[in-house]
């Protein structure tokens, strides 16, 4: 859930900045690029705690998926050495 909430906050930051640029009558692709860069920088500074919690959750997902492959490696090694 941390990853989704962090993603939503970053997306909201981008949309808010793009909305501000839209209100200033800046409609071209440069507005999207500027909103992306400024939104990224602002969310990086504004949400450090959310970023850390999301990274921990993603790390947990990766480690959980690796555990299954490591146990499979041990079984395969045992079978290979028995032959």
CA 57-7-48 angle, 5° bins = 70
Tens digits of pLDDT across the chain (83 residues): 899 999 999 999 999 999 999 999 998 899 999 999 999 999 999 999 999 999 999 888 887 766 666 666 666 667 777 76
Domain count, the chain: 1
pTM to 2 decimals? 0.69
Range of the domain at 67: 2-82
First to last CA, the chain: 46
């Amino acid at each position: 859930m941390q990853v989704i909430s962090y993603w939503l906050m970053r997306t909201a930051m981008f949309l808010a900045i793009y909305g501000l640029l839209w209100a200033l009558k800046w409609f071209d692709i440069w507005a999207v690029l500027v909103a992306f860069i400024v939104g990224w920088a602002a969310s990086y500074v504004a949400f450090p705690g959310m970023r850390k919690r999301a990274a921990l959750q993603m790390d947990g997902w990766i480690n959980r998926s690796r555990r299954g492959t490591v146990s499979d490696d041990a079984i395969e090694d045992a079978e290979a050495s028995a032959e």
